[in-house]
Amino acid sequence: MYSQTEQQILKHIAQQSILTGLEAQHSLEVNLSDYSEALQKKQATFVTLKIGDNLRGCIGTLSPHQALVKSVAYNAYAAAFQDPRFPALSPQEYEQLKYHISILSDTSPMQFDSEQSLLAQIRPGIDGLVLKEDNQQGTFLPSVWEQLPEPEAFLQHLKNKAGLPTNYWSNTLKIDRYTVVNIE
């Protein structure tokens, strides 16, 4: 979907945005006219940062509200400096970072009448899920399947992420699915 050159550009933007954050305490400012039409299209993205095999930050959006290059620049900065699970990235950590960019498809609601019906529809390794119940929400990117390969465990942990018990079920529970294009 994206050329090797476009993928390299997106990785470079993520790296430069974090470097700008270290030097100037804000994300990289992106001039859209410098980029291809594909990189100017509004896209939802997540940027995941790791050091070794350990998560170091992950921030993103579920809906496409800004151009892909701007979304990557902002989410890379936010993953490094604004993920509430971690302190702000230090200059010493910068050189150790591994970058994972996820470009999300539009979400689509899933139709189900029971937890078993839902579990039967989930596509391990393919689907990212958004769980919504009242004002509680959580999402797992498809990459989470690597740690939670069984649909039942994936759903239980997603419920926990949304602040619900693992055995929670309600007829008002909503699940949307999406897929991603991964850039590493």
Per-residue pLDDT of 85-120, as tens digits, reads 999 999 999 999 999 999 999 999 999 999 999 999
d(CA 109, CA 107): 7
Q: Where a domain ends, among 86, 104, 122? A: 104
Residue-level pLDDT at 1:
82
User: pTM of the predicted model, to two decimals?
Assistant: 0.91
Residue where a domain stops, chosen among 104, 132, 155:
104
Specify the CATH number for the domain of residue 167: 3.30.1490.150
- Could you list the residue range(s) of the whole structural domain that residue 92 is in? 4-104
The two three-digit tokens of residue 130, written as one number? 């958004």
Q: Is there a domain that residue 71 lies in?
A: yes
**Structural domains counted in the chain:** 2
- Note whether residue 18 is domain-resident: yes
Q: Quick one: pLDDT at residue 170?
A: 94
DSSP classification of residue 66: S
125 φ, ψ to 5°?
80, -10
Neighbour-count burial of 86, counting CB atoms closer than 10 A to its CB (0-12 exposed, 13-18 middle, 19+ buried): middle
Q: Is the dihedral of CA 180, 163, 112, 174 positive or negative?
A: negative
- Count Cβ atoms within 10 A of the Cβ of residue 84 and give its class: 0-12 exposed, 13-18 middle, 19 or more buried: exposed
- Do 9 and 82 lie in one domain? The reply is yes
- Same domain membership, residue 89 and residue 10: yes
Quick check: 37 and 2 in contact, CB under 8 A? Answer: no
Task: Output the six-digit token pair for 131.
Answer: 């769980």
Note whether residue 184 is domain-resident. no
Residue 182 β-bridge partners: 102
Low-confidence ranges of the chain (pLDDT < 70): none
